Structure 1
Amino acid sequence: MAKQNVAEQFVDILVKAGVKRLYGVVGDSLNPVVDAVRRNSAIDWVHVRHEETAAFAAGAEAQITGTLAACAGSCGPGNLHLINGLYDAHRSMAPVLALASHIPSSEIGLGYFQETHPDRLFQECSHYSEMISNPQQMPRLLQTAIQNAVGRSGVSVVTLPGDIADQPAPEKAAETALVTSRPSVRPGDAEIDKLVEMIDKADKVTLFCGSGTAGAHAEVMEFAEKVKSPVGHALRGKEWIQYDNPFDVG
């Protein structure tokens, strides 16, 4: 079996994490990754006219499906165009992995044509933003990025110089468990008992619901009927709780 390069390993890990599409614009520093996608039947390259569209598309897919989505931009202005969509995805808590392709690693810091520093530029709109500067960082760095995006519900950015993407991947790469879904979180029994006590003692109850009610519309409606409560909602609770809600007060 032919030895994988870093780009091929990168794409394989995306597939293992459940990514089915990679949105982006083909560019020179992205060529090894695009070629790896071309030869992997489990993932599709979705070509868009502008990288900003790629980031918004990935964010929309992540919000609709609740699973990890991915986008990519080439070096310089290519990946910079991702920023609006990544801000939107991050603030919407959509799990998105962005690949920011980079200039040749030997030219970083030397004022090379189209040089930027994506690992710094995307820090404010991501949970994790790091650069792969050596093939030995694969696949641990990418796995860490995926775990941050999925586990913390937001954006992770991986910066990858085109020449590193084309180098041979480590033969015995670390294989750690991938986080492919967000764990369920609930209050402890003591907190639930205290809430029940407060509701039982109250003369009037109002429910204010956020994104934590996702998937629990019927239960909230049943509870609101039982305690005769109006139901307000936060912005991120709107899609989960406002529809078919006779108790809604906005």
Structure 2
Amino acid sequence: MSPSVLEQTIDRLQDEPVNADQRKPDQGLTVGRFFLEQLAAWGVKRIYGVIGDANLYFLDDIAKQNKIQYVPFLDENAAALAASAEAKLTGRIGVVLGTSGPGLANMLNGLGDAFADGAGVLAITGQVEGKEVGTDAKQYIQQQLTASPIASYTEMLTDADALPKMLHRFLVMSEVRGCVSHITVPKRMFRDKVNGTVTPYSPHLRQPLLAPDKDVDETFRLIAEAKKPMFLLGRGIEGLTGDAVALADAVGAAVAASMPAMNVFPNGHERFVGGVGLAGSEAASVLMAESDLVVMFGTTWWPDDYTPVAARIVQIDAARENIGVGHLLARGLVGDLSAILPRFAQLAQGLRGEEGERAAWKRRIAEVRAQWRRRIDAEAAQDGSPVAPQRVIKTIAECVAPDAIIALDTGDHTLWFNRIFENRGQQVLLSGRWRTLGFALPAAIAAQLAHPDRQAVAVAGDGGVVQTLMEFKTAVNLNLPITVVVLNNGAYATEMNKMENEGLDRLGSTLNNPDFAAIASACGGAAYKASTGEQLRDCLTKALNEQRPALVEVAASPLKMPHLKI
């Protein structure tokens, strides 16, 4: 008896997988074009980069399409900082392109900023030809070893057909985990054909993480039972201002915020007491020490010297690994605050925040806040030349638009900014944990590209701005009307003042600066100089109304920040 068709098929499949002869879909794209199509499908609008021998084929592909803008920078560090800033600002993946060897090495500082602040960035770097990998070829380095301390995922593409899986995986990881991913491509491989198709973006990657109602309700009861509650807000509650205000009013909480989250709660509100830390307010530290429950909403900021050791803490975050790091917990709650905070506000509607002990707590908040406001108002009213940094920051706060994006560099002015600036809704970009010099200018460029209808203002010190100052020419080339404010105090003021406090020699702390305004003018931008508070207001007003890049250089005094120490 002859075997049936089914038996013949089963016999054949003993030697081959079921779908071995099934042809996989293929779009016929090269590596370079596949990158571009895949990135565009995920909503990437820009690639920041610097040209180099190992990425020329990819640049040719970029030039032949119009879905993604290429933004040429002068230095890979600045390009990576711009990609990091865009990721922080928009929540989308930032992309940076560089060449092999020194290209990647220059890029590492900017990638470090993304790594430290949890910004999802994809770095693409060219590499020497495959036959030269592992040799003494010019600009060769083991890029995966070089990038591994900063990039959570880093691989070299050794076969074009591996790209669809590799790129998709890296995009998912950068999107979901806010990490740096890095792909190295030998330079001629950009022209190789890829067997595969582009994977569309899936909305499940942004699906809210819902906490069980029972856990949410139990956590709310802890907050409702507190007599002296205090909220510490982070970027995790972006877009939830109304619910945050309603909850704070209902339970009678004092409210502080981390620096990137200053815009999420009205700074003029009677319960808002500023930031926490060296650059924060003494009012926040005093009230936190007196509070019987501190609730951390979407933040990991907990500076030991400015927070009470015995604090009773509730922490709520979508990332479970963020909860309870560096401090004890009364309770942790994992979930998306866009679902939890409105639920809290709804549950709080029946509470009366101004009765009994809560009424006394409200009076205490008002007392401490008023003392704090009088102090910083007096600091910001200082007159004279050079201009006190507090006066500079207050003037910026009064002149910029309520929806402006302010990119802060790292330095003495960063501390004064957090102490003095009254936020009216402005988004603040900064190098939060990496704290690199040179962040502000590239970040302002990225902000203006992402939001051309809003003011983009970079605030930098003289020690920081020189790190990336020539990217002002990049802004000119792109015709971006950013405004750069440079506080010129002739020193690395924070370091100089720390050295003085410790009785150390001030070696290396003073600066012999160039004429920053002249450099801006030579680059083709508008340039202004101010040495008094009134001059600064006039110059800043004019600069903000320019239709081209503008730089305002202000002579600032290197005053000592309170509590400063090494």
Fold match, TM over 0.5?
Answer: yes
Q: Partner amino acid for 2:225? A: K
Between the aligned partners of 1:91 and 1:169, the Cα distance in structure 2 is 34
Between the aligned partners of 2:153 and 2:228, the Cα distance in structure 1 is 44
Contact 1:24-1:71 at 8 Å conserved across structures? yes
* Residue matched to 2:37: 12
Contact 2:233-2:257 at 8 Å conserved across structures? yes
More off after superposition, 23-32 vs 202-211: 202-211
Equivalences for 1:1-150 in 2 at 5 Å?
3-150=28-175
Correspondent of 1:193 among 195, 212, 217:
217
SS in structure 2 of the partner of residue 81 of structure 1: helix
Contact 1:146-1:178 at 8 Å conserved across structures? no
SS in structure 1 of the partner of residue 229 of structure 2: coil
Between the aligned partners of 1:244 and 1:14, the Cα distance in structure 2 is 41
Q: Partner amino acid for 2:251? A: V
Between the aligned partners of 2:218 and 2:151, the Cα distance in structure 1 is 36
Q: Partner amino acid for 2:232? A: F
* Residue matched to 1:218: 242
More off after superposition, 221-230 vs 175-184: 175-184
**Percentage identity across paired residues of the two chains:** 27
Relative to structure 1, is the Cα distance of residues 239 and 115 closer, same or farther in structure 2, using a 3 angstrom cutoff? farther
Greater relative contact order (CA < 8 Å, ≥ 6 in sequence): 1
* Residue matched to 2:519: none
Deviations along 1:178-206, one digit per CA (max 9) or x if unpaired, are: 35764323432222111122123222211
SS in structure 1 of the partner of residue 139 of structure 2: coil
Contact 2:37-2:198 at 8 Å conserved across structures? no
SS in structure 1 of the partner of residue 201 of structure 2: coil
Give 1:242 deviation, angstroms: 6.3
Give 1:244 deviation, angstroms: 4.8
Between the aligned partners of 1:160 and 1:198, the Cα distance in structure 2 is 53
Contact 1:140-1:174 at 8 Å conserved across structures? no
Unaligned runs of 5+ in 2: 1-26, 276-566
Contact 1:233-1:242 at 8 Å conserved across structures? no
Give 1:239 deviation, angstroms: 4.4
SS in structure 2 of the partner of residue 82 of structure 1: helix
Relative to structure 1, is the Cα distance of residues 239 and 7 closer, same or farther in structure 2, using a 3 angstrom cutoff? same
Residue 201 of structure 2 is aligned to residue 178 of structure 1: yes
Give 1:60 deviation, angstroms: 1.5
More off after superposition, 114-123 vs 236-245: 236-245
SS in structure 2 of the partner of residue 130 of structure 1: strand
Relative to structure 1, is the Cα distance of residues 94 and 179 closer, same or farther in structure 2, using a 3 angstrom cutoff? farther
Give 1:109 deviation, angstroms: 1.4
Between the aligned partners of 2:128 and 2:150, the Cα distance in structure 1 is 22
Relative to structure 1, is the Cα distance of residues 53 and 191 closer, same or farther in structure 2, using a 3 angstrom cutoff? same
Contact 1:213-1:240 at 8 Å conserved across structures? yes
Residue 271 of structure 2 is aligned to residue 231 of structure 1: no
Contact 1:74-1:102 at 8 Å conserved across structures? yes
* Residue matched to 2:513: none
More off after superposition, 227-236 vs 53-62: 227-236
Between the aligned partners of 2:224 and 2:29, the Cα distance in structure 1 is 62
Between the aligned partners of 2:118 and 2:263, the Cα distance in structure 1 is 14
SS in structure 2 of the partner of residue 63 of structure 1: helix
SS in structure 2 of the partner of residue 232 of structure 1: strand
TM-score (norm 2): 0.42
Give 1:45 deviation, angstroms: 1.3
Relative to structure 1, is the Cα distance of residues 244 and 155 closer, same or farther in structure 2, using a 3 angstrom cutoff? farther
TM-score (norm 1): 0.90
Contact 1:127-1:152 at 8 Å conserved across structures? no
Q: Partner amino acid for 1:178? A: Y
Between the aligned partners of 1:117 and 1:248, the Cα distance in structure 2 is 50
SS in structure 2 of the partner of residue 158 of structure 1: strand
* Residue matched to 1:205: 229
Deviations along 1:85-116, one digit per CA (max 9) or x if unpaired, are: 11112222222111021111222112322111
Give 1:146 deviation, angstroms: 0.8
